[in-house]
Amino acid sequence: MSNTIYIEYNFRITPLQPTSDILIAELGAIGFESFVENETGIQAYTQKEDWQADMLNEVGILSNPDFHITYEVKEIEQENWNATWEQNFKPITVGEVCEVRAPFHEKSNVTYDIVIEPKMSFGTGHHETTHMMLQFILDHDFKGKTVLDMGSGTGVLAILAEMRGAVSVDAIDIDNWCYLNAMENVERNHGKHIKVYEGDASLLKDQKYDVIIANINRNILLSDIPEYAKCLTEGGQLFLSGFYKEDIPLITEKCNEFGLRFEKNQEKNNWVAVKYVF
Ligand SMILES: C[S@@+](CC[C@H](N)C(=O)[O-])C[C@H]1O[C@@H](n2cnc3c(N)ncnc32)[C@H](O)[C@@H]1O
């Protein structure tokens, strides 16, 4: 193991949500590469060679009086960073039949046992949006379906879709690291019908899918919904997440414009996952 030196920031945050999500997004934008959420806030990591003492000056939420954020900073070696991650990543159970765990967790007796090594990509089932999308996949019939997972992160949704019977799954992520990580996770879970691509909605051409899953964010979804509609088969289903309850009318309006009808939604801590039908 190389002993890369990391800088760890330990942020204490009040209120925890939506502050943590905003802080993670802002830190991600200035080059922080991994995050561990805990009960009082988050730990954020960047490699020492990418770090500058004044880099937090660009993080707007730290000077916003509506949020209270304090932090400590220290230098750690990669081995310790891995240990922190392992300590904090607990297995997640969805609907009692599906567990998302890391390779170092013991296998339990569930129908859908998903092993994910997330490292730095999003999608362990800990986030509300991933959890709700996994629940949607459990609640629907995927047997014989062709599926697109847009913004696939670790690949966790694509992996469950195949376990639930999908005959082919295209998983697309814009981020190179996610693309590589999803490929590793597909292999780790013995995926046979999942193809992972690096890119975005511009990769979609004449393909048709019975189901499209996209957990990204409000603005990307708003701009990609017309592309999704073009790729759905008659009666096809679209599951969207990555936005808040108050964004449902806007997203639904865009879906309606392209022939997609709202069917139902789930909600967790103000995050939502919504099902539309073509
Ligand atoms: C919220 S994460 C979801 C990951 C995983 N699907 C899950 O449910 O946990 C969003 C993912 O979308 C990717 N992404 C962001 N913009 C994108 C775009 N325009 N096209 C494709 N992927 C995108 C990010 O790299 C990230 O991995």
Domain ranges of the chain: 5-87, 127-277
Residue pair 122/154 in contact (Cβ under 8 Å)? The answer is yes
Ligand 1 centroid – CA 151 distance (Å): 3
* Homologous superfamily of the 127-277 domain (CATH): Vaccinia Virus protein VP39 (3.40.50.150)
pLDDT (tens digit, 0 to 9) for every residue of the chain, 278 residues total?
356 788 999 999 988 888 888 999 889 888 887 788 888 999 998 888 889 989 999 899 999 988 999 999 999 876 666 666 666 678 899 998 999 998 888 998 999 999 998 665 566 667 889 999 999 999 999 999 999 999 999 999 999 999 999 999 999 999 888 899 899 999 999 999 999 999 999 999 999 999 999 999 999 999 999 999 999 999 999 999 999 999 999 999 999 999 999 999 999 988 999 999 99
User: Are the beta carbons of 241 and 267 closer than 8 angstroms?
Assistant: no
Residue 246 CB neighbours (<10 A) = 10
CATH placement of domain 5-87? 3.30.70
Q: Is 173 within any annotated ligand binding site?
A: yes
How far is 17 from 245, CA to CA, in rounded Å? 14
Is the ipTM, as predicted for this complex, more than 0.85? yes
Cβ–Cβ < 8 Å for 228, 247:
no
Distance 184 CA to ligand 1 centre (A): 17
Determine the residue of 122, 194, 274 to mutate for testing ligand 1's pocket, defined as the one with the most ligand atoms within 8 A of the Cβ atom. 122
- Residue corresponding to tokens 């949500």: 17
Which residue's C-alpha comes closest to atom 18 of ligand 1? 200
